[in-house]
Amino acid sequence: MANYGQHYSTTKTPQREKAKAGQKENNAGGFTFVLDKWARLDRFLILGADGGSYYASEREMTRDNAKVVEECLAEDGSRTVARIAEISHSGRAPKNDAAIFALALAAASKDVPTRTSAYTALKLVCRTGTHLFQFVRDAKNFRGWSGGLRRAVAAWYGDKKPDKLAYQLLKYQQRHGYSNRDLLRLSHAEPPTPQHSAAYRWTIGGDNAERSVLNGKTKQARSYGPIVVDDIPRLLRAYDQELKASKSPKETAKLVREYGFTHEMVPNEHKKSPDVWEALLEKMPQTALVRNLGKMTAVGLFKPMGTATKKAAAMLADLDRLKKGRVHPIALLSALRVYEQGHGEKGKLTWEPMREVVDALNEAFYMAFDAITPTGKNHMLALDVSGSMSSGTIADCPGLTPRVASAAMAMVTARTEQNWYVMGFADHFIKLDISPKQRLDDVVRKISNIPFGGTDCALPMLHAIEKNIDVDCFVVFTDSETWSGDVHPFQALKQYRKHSGRDAKLAVVGMTATEFTIADPSDAGMLDFVGFDTAAPALLADFARGEGATLPSKEEAEDVE
């Protein structure tokens, strides 16, 4: 008797075959669902395309995501710009590069209201001089200089208070092929106050700094006039008259304390002095602190049980400083990985890691995510450790692959929830001996040493069926490049629900900026989240409880420069 059921089933379909309308072949040859353009926009803005993926180069992923941004702009330009600004301004992304790139695309739109929205959002997205230089570089690739771009850049400088302007002019003097002098001249910036006028003249150079302006069809030179010394912001005067003339590290340290100079402004010959770095540490912004831990240790400022070491550790684990500085968990995880190894990725700088600093970075990582209220639900944290998760980088950090980053992210939920079980999978079940009680650097090392394999994202549900594990919410960290199983993940979830009698949910945490997902969009019990979105663990908890998610507004984040 023929058994046709072995050849066709609606409950069990090999992943290399389409199981449901709307599925698409992924890069690995399996069939998965695809995200809509708005969900893809979020993935790109938060994850970027640094390093590409196992199946696609950085160039291919960037071009693919650029098309998605353009599709969103074409459908609703103001909504797209608002989303770019919200994700950037609230600090939900590890890096600001994707948001700046997307905003530059919006500024090149043929739709006038969209361009206007983009220029209005410039100050929200480009909060530092580096961001502005990067935006101008990208904008020129898409459109070139225009009246709108000139006015927006001029307003970026003109809207800042003189003391904040001076800080930006000194801290970020040039990046990405542009300098402040270039942008002030190219934007035809009109100074709104005498202090701005003096700062512009100081930046462009010369006692009667000139800029070329277009008057009708003729170019002519317009002068800002002579510099009135008293109008020059205090920081710029002190930099010229005192810091540049400083003869010793102790004198430089004194000036740092008096005027608040940053390390970028300090003469290179004085940057090897512990006295200078001790002075810098007193008012050092949180991001600068995270980036310079190795340097301060190398010059001898940090010592075991030392005063400066304790001070830095306390600053690192200060929740207010973390939130105000928009320090992303990825920056802390990256800093932890680099600092703990005792040497930088580039250059010859080496140091002996201080235990207090490593512990503080570990604690700060968890604090940098949005506050999470425990759900009391049973969570299975399933980490895709297959070969495709070993390629590409998160936030352009060497060695920080999606598989490593997902393990660290899973520990955030495990540290919050009481009822959790962690497993790994490739094309087979993998026991993971990791725990949030371990330091993150230890977790990272363990997850990095697991052998690669194929991908079967149905395994978490099948494993729970086999072992009779009670699960309320499966949390799968993956790139959704699944292909090797005999049943699709959404079918395996249905099997688990039937087997257990539990209305289990599936949260899919996407770790790369591709269009694929294993979550069935027609099932309310499945939902996509973006990996390393600072809001993701809290939103995931809302999903597990069956509550609606509330995203943070941009008004809840403070400006940082």
The sign of the torsion formed by the CA atoms of 283, 289, 295, 299 equals positive
Strands (E), 264-399: 379-384
3-state percent helix, strand, coil for the chain, nearest multiple of 5: 50, 10, 40
Taking the C-alpha atoms of residue 187 and residue 369, their distance in angstroms, rounded to an integer, is: 38
Instruction: Return the bridge partners of 528, or none.
Output: 508
Residue 531 is predicted with a pLDDT of: 84
Note the Cα 153 to chain centre separation in Å.
24
Q: Where are the domains of the chain?
A: 96-234, 248-367, 379-545
The sign of the torsion formed by the CA atoms of 254, 255, 259, 260 equals negative
Residue 148 is predicted with a pLDDT of: 92
Taking the C-alpha atoms of residue 104 and residue 83, their distance in angstroms, rounded to an integer, is: 14
Taking the C-alpha atoms of residue 267 and residue 292, their distance in angstroms, rounded to an integer, is: 16
Taking the C-alpha atoms of residue 548 and residue 542, their distance in angstroms, rounded to an integer, is: 6
CB-based contact 157:165 (threshold 8 Å) = yes
CB-based contact 544:376 (threshold 8 Å) = no
Residue 124 is predicted with a pLDDT of: 96
Residue 214 is predicted with a pLDDT of: 40
> What is the bridge-based pairing of β-strands 429-430 and 473-478?
unpaired
State the first-to-last Cα distance of the chain, in angstroms, to the nearest integer.
Answer: 76
Residue 229 is predicted with a pLDDT of: 67
Residue 499 is predicted with a pLDDT of: 97
Architecture of the domain defined by 379-545 = 3-Layer(aba) Sandwich (3.40)
Label residue 214 exposed, middle or buried (CB < 10 Å: 0-12, 13-18, 19+): exposed
The dihedral region occupied by 468, where left means phi > 0, alpha psi between -120 and 50, and beta the remainder, is left
Q: Which residues contact 45 (CB under 8 A, 6 or more apart)?
A: 83, 84, 87, 88, 93, 98, 99, 102
Burial 521-558 (b: 16+ CB within 10 A, else e): beeebbbbbbbbbbbbbbbbbbbbbeeeeeebebeebe
Residue 361 is predicted with a pLDDT of: 95
Taking the C-alpha atoms of residue 536 and residue 531, their distance in angstroms, rounded to an integer, is: 7
Q: What pTM, to 2 d.p., does this model score?
A: 0.86
Residue 354 is predicted with a pLDDT of: 97
Taking the C-alpha atoms of residue 303 and residue 391, their distance in angstroms, rounded to an integer, is: 37
Label residue 174 exposed, middle or buried (CB < 10 Å: 0-12, 13-18, 19+): middle
**Which residue shows structure tokens 């277009």?**
214
Question: What is the maximal distance between C-alpha atoms in the chain?
Answer: 100
**Which residue shows structure tokens 């160039």?**
59
| Mean pLDDT (10-residue bins), the chain, 561 residues | 50 90 91 93 86 62 90 97 95 91 96 96 96 95 89 96 96 93 92 92 66 43 58 90 94 97 95 97 95 97 96 96 90 90 88 96 91 93 90 73 88 93 93 88 84 90 97 94 93 97 95 89 93 88 76 36 37
Residue 332 is predicted with a pLDDT of: 92
Taking the C-alpha atoms of residue 43 and residue 100, their distance in angstroms, rounded to an integer, is: 15
Q: How many CB atoms lie within 10 A of CB 561?
A: 13
**Which residue shows structure tokens 């994202």?**
457
Residue 59 is predicted with a pLDDT of: 75
Closest C-alpha among 549, 521, 515 to residue 535: 549
Burial 271-282 (b: 16+ CB within 10 A, else e): bebbbbbbbbbe
Residue 96 is predicted with a pLDDT of: 93
Residue 227 is predicted with a pLDDT of: 59
